[in-house]
Amino acid sequence: MEIRNKDKQAPFTTKDGSTITSLLDLANAPVKNQSLAEASIPAGGSTQRHYHKESEEFYYISSGTGVMEIDGESREVGVGDAILIPPGAWHEITATADLVFLCCCAPPYRHEDTFFE
């Protein structure tokens, strides 16, 4: 049985600029097909626009509001919204209020699978 507590995991900054706390990923559990992390972005901040060749991502907004841009289409997002980011889709999220969201990647998140303009 694998159980990880968020408060016992050290946060880090990803290549896209968000602060991530890995809940279950390649670094802390024997995962094979997905990863789960909590990301936070302060109001006015954003990730750097990027894409992943391999990983499909889900974002689930648990706190705050923002604007999600995927392949040139932008929408306001907030608490309770679940967002699908297909592999290869350019994306960026900007916080309009302090933003916290869960991020699930399949296959698991890897820095090497993050590409920028």
pTM for this entry:
0.93
Plot region of 80 (φ>0 → left; ψ -120 to 50 → alpha; else → beta): left
Domains of the chain: 15-116 (2.60.120.10)
Q: Give, for all 117 residues of the chain, the pLDDT tens digit.
A: 999 999 999 998 887 888 999 999 998 999 999 999 999 999 999 999 999 999 999 999 999 999 999 999 999 999 999 999 999 999 999 999 999 999 999 999 988 999 998
Could you tell me the two tokens for 39? 């990301």
**Sheet containing 73-78, strands listed edge to edge, beginning at the edge strand earlier in sequence:** 73-78, 65-70, 91-95, 50-52, 114-116
